[in-house]
Structure 1
Amino acid sequence: MTEKLIYGIQQIGIGVENADAAFKWYAQTLGADALIFDDSNEATYMAKYMGGKARKKRALLALNMQGGGGYEIWQYKERKPAKPKNEFKIGDLGIHFPVIKSRNITATFERLKASNENILSEIVLDPDDKKSFYLKDPFDNILKVKEFSNFYADQKNDVGGIFSAVIGVSNIDESLKLYADTLGYETVIYDKTDVFEDLSSLKNGNKKFRRILLSHSEKRSGGFAKLFGESQIELIQAIENEPDKIFENRFWGDLGYIHLCFDVKNIKQLAKECSDIKVPFQVISGESFDMGDANGHWGYIEDFDGTLIEFIETNKVPLIKKIGLNINLKNRNPKKPLPNWMIKAMNLKRIKF
């Protein structure tokens, strides 16, 4: 196979101080209660982003089985993670927040409000005329909840997983070489420069920005594409102020959103295409790398502003460890989706509190 495939947004990495507390909150509050892996070992390949040496860590992948990307909850084992030097403001360079799909935005808002969650805004109208609102998790990370109709399953939860990410960039036109041309988010839903009412509740939200919301015209197919579903990327560029770099002078794994990860096939071809636009892979694993009981081939690039983007070519997903039951993707037709029964079997990974 010579072409690369982008199956969808697999997860956003979140650096935290307490992985157990973070998993419990995301499971109970946002329905991401399927624990796909729980990996405690030494991170070696990413040493260049961790002060030049390997570090012991714990990483948990949590998915909402109604569909969408998940959360890789990441904790240093022997190091206190650093906070951002500056308070986050809209337009800064890096991952602003994930966008979580809601099938009923009013019901989601009222549920979270009744639970005394830290809601940052009322329900607002985005430039694409979709309703959304902002909240903060207990670990000081901003999340955006937005109405979206594409769900894999209905488990009577008002929210699914992640279907988009908002990323601050210094030059949208340059960034499109990666996000639109190489990763296939070539459909422009809107491209506007203005002061936006929907950002007004966030720091710096009263300034002028250029925002472009991207989607993909080609339906993703194969592997877990049905579970991850349709996805979008929003790029935002500050016009009136000089942005800070969110992870400046900090390590990968420090507090906040540490990377955006795509589920892919044929990393070798993807590496060539990224190199062609001068965003070469900075890190790449062996072709069969164990992540707890899961296995895959993965690598990282930096976008034009240094934001870490991860790509994972999944080989194996564990279902029942005791009997060695796994989902094996390595030798499957990469364009053939996994059968529904196999994806639904991942509900065996759900944790009850």
Structure 2
Amino acid sequence: MSKIIYGIQQVGIGVANHTQAWKWYMEHLGFDIRIFEDNTIAELMLPYTGGQPQQRHAALALNMQGGGGLEIWQYKGRTPLMPESQVLLGDYGIFAAKVKCPNVKKAYDYFESKGIPVSQLSVRPNGEEHFFIKDPFGNFFEIYNHGYIFKDEKKHVSGVGGVVIGVSDIEKSLKLYRDILGYDTIIYDTTAVFEDLAELPGGKGNFRRMLLTHSQTPKGSFSKFFGQSEIELVQVLDREPNKIFKNRYWGDLGFIHLCYDMKNMNDLEKECTDKGFPFTVNSNVKHNKKGNFDMGEAAGHFSYIEDPDGTL
């Protein structure tokens, strides 16, 4: 059997105040369905948590209009760190989460009416309208046109539909995002100074942008809920980018990972190893005295890999 990827399950986001953050994401982005919430110890992420287990409070929340969710994640035993410097577009890591939207203009009017920082309403290189918002915690979300709705709850936005990722070399990154994760269709691939990015931090630079999606519609399990997704790779050409999580832990402030719902993990592990992206964390190991993995309501088989620039 080969791996089956059902879609983006969630984007992880490290926060300083779990209650405050979730309230904002619930009110303004519609993430009001609790899948799990617990306070436990993250024991298996030692390569990314200073070699020590870390106490954390985490919740996975979904928007029933469809798309991936947000895993809202807060350290409980340490103060989460901010980036060493302002995160700029093109820095290595997840710069923004993409949020699906059935009516971009109506959503723009909503966010503007609430006093939420918004970029200008503009068009992407493929001619579709979009804009960016910034939450009170400094994180950016791209609101983009996506008409499919799983359950119409009359919300102005739906769930997560992808991410904007800063990379050092798009061609090298394709070995993961295209060849393993299946983003085999290029919507656009263009190099310029882009007007629609100008209001973002670092957005006035010269970039190569490649927007990718799947040629095949995901099938099985929760695929109808997660729906189609896209990945935008951004390579800055006129400065030396920083690594967003340099000298910080996984779970510190900002977007910490991109998570997929999938089947046949062992087949994925072999493929990733063969193609140069070995698992750095694999929960399918004997870990405690009971000989199993236990993380409360969040229990399950999960694994991590890094892209060529270390993004999880």
The question of a shared fold, defined as TM-score above 0.5 by the shorter chain, is answered with: yes
CA contact (8 A) 2:2 2:267 kept: yes
Query: 1:153-194 CA distances to partner (integer Å, 9 max, x unpaired)?
Result: 211112100111111110100110100011110011111111
How much has 1:142 moved relative to structure 2? 1.0
Tell me, in whole angstroms, the C-alpha distance in 1 between the residues paired with 2:95 and 2:39: 27
Paired position in structure 2 for 1:306: 310
Tell me, in whole angstroms, the C-alpha distance in 1 between the residues paired with 2:298 and 2:257: 19
Tell me, in whole angstroms, the C-alpha distance in 2 between the residues paired with 1:193 and 1:291: 44
248-257 or 140-149, which deviates more: 140-149
Tell me, in whole angstroms, the C-alpha distance in 1 between the residues paired with 2:123 and 2:165: 19
Tell me, in whole angstroms, the C-alpha distance in 2 between the residues paired with 1:296 and 1:41: 14
RMSD: 1.1
CA contact (8 A) 1:37 1:291 kept: no
Paired position in structure 2 for 1:167: 165
Secondary structure of 2:22's partner?
helix
Tell me, in whole angstroms, the C-alpha distance in 2 between the residues paired with 1:225 and 1:170: 31
Tell me, in whole angstroms, the C-alpha distance in 2 between the residues paired with 1:62 and 1:232: 20
Paired position in structure 2 for 1:323: none
Query: 1:306-327 CA distances to partner (integer Å, 9 max, x unpaired)?
Result: 001xxxxxxxxxxxxxxxxxxx
Tell me, in whole angstroms, the C-alpha distance in 2 between the residues paired with 1:118 and 1:196: 20
Tell me, in whole angstroms, the C-alpha distance in 1 between the residues paired with 2:220 and 2:93: 29
Q: In the alignment, residue 77 of structure 1 is paired with which amino acid?
A: K
Paired position in structure 1 for 2:233: 235
TM-score by length of 2: 0.96
What is the total number of aligned residue pairs between the two structures? 306
Unmatched tracts of structure 1, length 5 or more: 309-353
Tell me, in whole angstroms, the C-alpha distance in 2 between the residues paired with 1:43 and 1:193: 41
By relative contact order (CA 8 Å, sep 6+), the higher-ranking structure is 2
Q: How does 1:166-245 map to 2 (within 5 A)?
A: 166-245=164-243
Query: 1:35-68 CA distances to partner (integer Å, 9 max, x unpaired)?
Result: 1100210110002211110010011001001100
Secondary structure of 2:303's partner?
strand
Tell me, in whole angstroms, the C-alpha distance in 2 between the residues paired with 1:160 and 1:291: 28
Tell me, in whole angstroms, the C-alpha distance in 2 between the residues paired with 1:279 and 1:47: 18
Q: In the alignment, residue 137 of structure 1 is paired with which amino acid?
A: D
Secondary structure of 1:175's partner?
helix
Tell me, in whole angstroms, the C-alpha distance in 2 between the residues paired with 1:162 and 1:294: 19
Higher strand fraction (1 or 2)? 1
CA contact (8 A) 2:15 2:253 kept: yes
Q: How does 1:318-337 map to 2 (within 5 A)?
A: none
Percent of aligned positions that are identical: 50
Unmatched tracts of structure 2, length 5 or more: 286-291
Q: How does 1:1-353 map to 2 (within 5 A)?
A: 2-119=1-118, 121-286=119-284, 289-308=293-312
* Large movers: runs of 4+ above 2 Å: 286-295
Paired position in structure 2 for 1:346: none
Secondary structure of 1:248's partner?
coil
